[in-house]
Amino acid sequence: MKTAKIRVTGRVQGVWFRGSAAEQAARLGVTGWAKNCPDGSVEVIACGPADGVDALVEWLRRGPRLARVDGIEVEPVVLDEVPLTFTVL
């Protein structure tokens, strides 16, 4: 089991980034959440098998068709409770 906190910058709000990330996470068996941040970035928490989390991170590097990803930061995190689903916040 792997858990990562990912911050994605660029044109990532208003382009269905979080909804697309949720679809990808569901396909990969990853739980967690995606939320817009006040600075215009998107924060993602991803929990699941290492290969699923890694695949989601690779997808986040591109994002959906209308997005423009300028940067991505990934750091491991420890959560007190692992989410059961992937939620758009």
Catalytic residue chosen out of the listed positions 11, 36, 61, 68: 36
Instruction: Give yes or no: 36 in active site.
Output: yes
27 is catalytic: no
> Exposed, middle or buried by CB within 10 Å (0-12, 13-18, 19+), for 62?
exposed
- Measured in whole angstroms, the distance separating CA 16 from the mean position of its chain's CA atoms is 12
Segment holding 17, helix H or strand E: helix 17-28
The one catalytic residue in 7, 11, 18, 65 is 18
Residues labelled as active-site residues? 18, 36
